[in-house]
Structure 1
Amino acid sequence: MALVEYSDSESSSSDSHRPEQSHSESQKSQGIKRKHSSTSESTLPPLPDTFHDLYASTARVSNQDDPTLHGGRQRVTPHVEGNWPTHVYVEWFPSTEHSNRLSDLLTDFNNVQTLPEHQVHSLLRSDLGAELPLHISLSRPVVLLAHQRQPFIDAMTRAISKTTLSPFKAAARGLEWVVNYEKTRWFLVLKLERAPQDGLNKLLHLSNQTVMKFGQPPLYTDLRQYSAGGQNQKRQAGNQGRSKETSAAASSSVIPSESSNEFDLSSSFHVSIGWTLGAPTQPLREKLDATGVDFQSLRVDVTTVKVKIGNGITAISLATKIDPSNRIIEK
């Protein structure tokens, strides 16, 4: 249907027949609009936590590993049909104040480097400026088969739900440079203090037990912790202190124990805020101690453990328990 054009005379004619509004009525109307607008803005409810899980993954732009599409990053785990990349973690959205402070910190780091491979890329915001969630890893990037997905989620849910842990806060204690397992990227991370209730150690222990039952390697751990009756302690002793180099072959021979966590691995927990392709230069390393940031004010609320399998995310609340009939209920 074609658009109908109206002449200027018709437009002005229509305007001339409109009743004029008095000055007092106009002010009253504008006041109501302002009041309504102000009220609406102040009473908007926050988005539920599950909203972020709906859009946690970006659209795939290639079915092959192409580092040029990802700032030079290389895929850690090759894509294999039927395999499902899996990650267990705690998610954190820093406050606006803390997010801005950390963004300024990354800018300061970039001001002391000159080579492209040493550029510190932000994990706080996307290229379009959207806020991104940060996380504390409780597992490596592991791989499950299709039929293992739901049993893995069920196992993690029951393991966490049977603990006495309640939500807690993990405090930051400073910055550090950490390289990934494959030594393809370096990460600028917030190191964390030992958590209340020894919460992070306990959650890591549960996650390690679960992934090992599915034939996957544990994270951040001396494998003697999971040996049966101490039989493997001598053979596994060489793994102590090199948790990031633990191999899948070594871990598959260890039987998970049901004992409590015996090792403090708090020094391994961190939140990555930026990454670079090249090993940090001396100026970037020296910048770690010259930030002037009060890290104790940065605290991560740990209320939920998330399991990401493929693009699907399952949230397991710490505020749950299991009744005698093995049914999960809210505390």
Structure 2
Amino acid sequence: MLVGYSSSSEEENQEEHQEETAPNKDASPTREEEEEGEDGCPARKKPRAEPQVTKTRLPVPGSLMSMFPDDDDPETEDSSLHGGRIRSFRHERGNWATYVYLPYHPEEEFEEVLEELFSAASDGGVDLTQQEEFHLSLSQTVVLRHHWIQPFIQSLRADLAHCKKFVCSARKLKVYCNAEKTRTFLGIEVCSGQTQLLDVVRVVDRTMTEFRLDTFYKEPSFHVSLAWCVGDMREKMDGCIQKLQCLVDEREEGPFELRLDGVELRCRTGNKTFRFPLEP
């Protein structure tokens, strides 16, 4: 530890300094030691003043200083490093972005549909970036302090313990924009299974309320985000959404329908993912 490093150094400096200033035992007595009192008896020796020791504090190694960077990391706040994305809330040490979701595992047909959608959107003047992962959100993104994570997950696990497995599907494309209007999303909205999703949201909201966090939207539009672009591009996206929907509906094999098997829910908090299997 840094404290032990400084203390031991100071003690060594102090010992060296005392050795240098210690009196020579073989030297003659000083005048102070030879003084006598008025009655001719040797006067009581006055205590010698302890030599002052100058404590020299060693500089802290640069490697240790780099272990504790400032809270504001310019790289994490630089939108150019994240494809132009801007944080919805400021990153602070000890704050963990947290949300509950139902994962979606893409199938081969889904990948083909995406390629067609991106090409058609580009023809309409919108360059889309594919989502890194696909899921259906069951909570808003909230901020948890690190020491809240364990009790939050325990509470969530207890509340979800009796939730049943379910299936839902999505096939209608819809355009979304975040509250800050910094990103626009192309999503595919759920068309069946909303009742089961609402039941799950009510359970998740209980935990959110317990920790005084924001609950989900009053009238949610359950969807899986497929892609995004920077800024408020709703007008352009709405202009080509009908063409994009035709690509979903008029496939040779029949209309594409995204199917989500609700066998387990997940909670992502920072870089940790917790799983919550649902009952049969």
- TM above 0.5, one fold? yes
Superposed displacement of residue 199, structure 1: 1.4
Do structure 1's residue 285 and structure 2's residue 232 form an aligned pair? no
Rounded to whole Å, the distance in 2 between the matches of 1:281 and 1:184 is: 11
* Structure-2 change in CA distance of 1:296 and 1:161 (3 Å): farther
* Structure-2 change in CA distance of 1:205 and 1:290 (3 Å): same
Do structure 1's residue 120 and structure 2's residue 118 form an aligned pair? no
Structure-to-structure mapping, 1:115-154, within 5 angstroms? 118-123=126-131, 132-154=132-154
1:48-87 Cα deviation digits (max 9, x unpaired): xxxxxxxxxxxxx965300011111111121112212111
Match of 2:264 among 304, 318, 321: 304
Q: Which residue of 2 aligns with 1:195?
A: 193
Rounded to whole Å, the distance in 1 between the matches of 2:192 and 2:207 is: 22
1:113-138 Cα deviation digits (max 9, x unpaired): 0xxxx422111xxxxxxxx4301111
Rounded to whole Å, the distance in 1 between the matches of 2:133 and 2:228 is: 15
Q: Secondary structure at the match of 1:207?
A: helix
Task: State the TM-score, normalized to the length of structure 2.
Answer: 0.67
Amino acid at match of 1:286: G
Moved over 2 A (4+): 61-64, 278-284, 294-297
Amino acid at match of 1:146: H
Amino acid at match of 1:138: L
Superposed displacement of residue 283, structure 1: 4.9
Q: Which residue of 2 aligns with 1:81?
A: 93
5+ residue gaps, structure 1, are 1-60, 124-131, 222-264, 320-330
Match of 2:278 among 302, 307, 318: 318
Superposed displacement of residue 141, structure 1: 1.2
Superposed displacement of residue 158, structure 1: 1.1
5+ residue gaps, structure 2, are 1-72, 250-254
Q: Secondary structure at the match of 1:193?
A: strand
Q: Which residue of 1 aligns with 2:207?
A: 210
Structure-to-structure mapping, 1:28-107, within 5 angstroms? 63-107=75-119
Rounded to whole Å, the distance in 1 between the matches of 2:87 and 2:236 is: 28
Q: Max radius of gyration: which structure? A: 2
Rounded to whole Å, the distance in 1 between the matches of 2:225 and 2:74 is: 26
Amino acid at match of 2:106: P
Task: State the TM-score, normalized to the length of structure 1.
Answer: 0.57
Q: Secondary structure at the match of 2:135?
A: strand
Do structure 1's residue 269 and structure 2's residue 222 form an aligned pair? yes
RMSD value, Cα? 2.0
Q: Which residue of 2 aligns with 1:161?
A: 161
Q: Which residue of 2 aligns with 1:173?
A: 171
Aligned residues: 201
